[in-house]
Amino acid sequence: MKRIAVLSVHTSPLEQPGTGDAGGMNVYIVQTATRMAALGVDVEIFTRATSSGLPPVVEMAPGIKVRHVVAGPFEGLGKEELPGQLCAFTAGVLRAEARHEPGYYDAIHSHYWLSGQVGWLARERWGVPLVHTAHTLAKVKNAALADGDTPEPRMRVIGEEQVVEEADRLVANTDVEAVELVGLYDAAPEKVLTIPPGVDLETFTPGDRTAARASLDLRPDQVVLAFVGRIQPLKAPDVLLRAAAELLARDPSLRSRLVVLVVGGPSGTGLEEPRALQRLADELGITDVVRFLLPLAGGDLAEVYRAADVVAVPSYNESFGLVALEAQACGTPVVAASVGGLPVAVRHGFSGFLVDGHDPAEWARALAHVALDPELRARLAGNAVGHARGFSWERTTDTLLAAYSDARKAFQREVHR
């Protein structure tokens, strides 16, 4: 492999994860691109330009270019409006390739269904294989909607079905997702590969818990629960707040020590009521124990994980759950919903606990079980580090590169048949 075209229509790898549409997918693209470049593979990432001030091309790192494609107005377009701009985006992608000799890219890797639509056309024009990662699937999301959340539209379902049919390889984050692709989308089993994401084991490491708390103005004796992610119904941060209120109702003396950290910004349907979570905290009477922090990255985010007694991941759907893995790599146990890829990211009873459903009372019990039992927490924390070390971006990247090569060989055999 000499050069890979990566398509990320609706969110740029240059954006801060945790707000807007930036999240685990952004982390995935940045981490794998960085490691591919280190192995001598040039990576060009195509994303939609969201500001007139953005240069057409940005060198994110040596060997990695981010190309900003003009498609529609620079600002004010939600993800649900982007299908109308796919023609313009595709034209920009094809135009960039047309400046080079045929065969400039060895493979295309599209992320999310919007990018898959573009990749499908580029595959036909360039004569190279398309590898696609869905990250989330509409049929799966619609089967487990949060109360009041908006179902994914039929247009997306049809778009995903088309990409599944046309892609040469489909990368699933877990075996559960692989089964969903085959069972719900009629994917050819031989095209589906399970390649788990990784975790940055250099950034997310165990550290000085007391120092981490001091950096966040937290006392050593406080009971700290944390949520990290986009503020939207899908991620269910409200479940953590309701569970915290339940904990205080059971034990009012805990109020002087309890702190709930919510790290992230509004996203998706959460943008319709960006302050809904603050209002919920007020309604529950827990504003004094809840702290809202802006999205963080790198070492600053690692300090949040280290400072917490437990990290909650109460999502209604997660294709994997990178937050759970990052927290565990820092030595912090996780309590997560038993959905999607989270049973892979969290080893139940070993590195944390999985909760069936989203009943605040059940979540309160699970969170208290970990946070208020120092011996159990210490045991889980040690196990969590070892569990997280079983995942690495190096392994993910090596497996992806092998998938690209395999797809390219199969594509060429098909062309010459």
Tell me if 328 is assigned to a ligand binding site. no
Consult the annotation and say whether 159 binds a ligand.
no
Do 160 and 185 contact (CB within 8 A), yes or no? yes
Determine if residue 24 is labeled as part of a ligand binding site: yes
Residue type, 96: A
**Six token digits for residue 170:** 């489909």
34 is in an annotated binding site: no
Q: Please answer whether residues 53 and 31 qualify as being in contact, where contact means their C-beta atoms are separated by less than 8 angstroms.
A: no
326 labelled binding-site residue: yes
**Displacement of CA 384 from its chain's centroid (Å):** 19
Longest dimension (CA), the chain: 74
Helix (H, G, I), strand (E, B) or coil at 176: helix
- 188 annotated as ligand-binding: no
Is 230 labelled a binding residue? yes
Q: Is 279 annotated as a binding residue?
A: no
Residue 63 marked as a ligand binder: no
Ligand-binding site membership of 185 (annotated):
no
Measure CA 109 to chain center: 17
Report which of 351, 340, 116, 111 is spatially closest to residue 234, judged by C-alpha positions: 340
**Is 387 known as a binding-site position?**
no
- Whether 21 has a binding-site annotation, put simply, is yes
Q: Which residue's entry shows tokens 């690692």?
A: 302
Q: Is 378 left (phi over 0), alpha (psi -120 to 50) or beta?
A: alpha
306 is in an annotated binding site: yes
**Do the annotations mark residue 103 as ligand-binding?**
no
As a whole number of angstroms, the distance between CA 323 and CA 388 comes to: 11
Q: Residue 17 annotated as binding?
A: yes
CA dist., res. 257 & res. 41, Å (int): 50
194 annotated among ligand-binding-site residues:
no
The SS3 of residue 4 is strand
Q: Is 93 exposed, middle or buried (0-12, 13-18, 19+ CB in 10 A)?
A: buried
To the question of whether residue 352 is assigned a binding role by annotation, the answer is: no
**Does 287 carry a binding-site annotation?**
no
Order of strands, sheet of 107-111, starting from the edge strand that comes earlier in the sequence? 57-61, 64-69, 42-48, 3-7, 107-111, 130-133, 169-172, 192-194
The single-letter code of the amino acid at 361 is A
Residue 379 known to bind ligand: no
The C-alpha atoms of residue 239 and residue 224 are separated, in whole angstroms, by 16
> Per the annotation, does 200 bind a ligand?
no
Residue 396 labeled ligand binder: no
Binding-site members for 1D-myo-inositol 3-phosphate are 10, 21-26, 79, 112, 136, 156
Known binding positions for UDP-N-acetyl-alpha-D-glucosamine:
16-17, 24, 230, 235, 318, 326
Binding residues for Mg(2+): 305-306, 308, 332
Which residues contribute to the annotated binding site? 10, 16-17, 21-26, 79, 112, 136, 156, 230, 235, 305-306, 308, 318, 326, 332
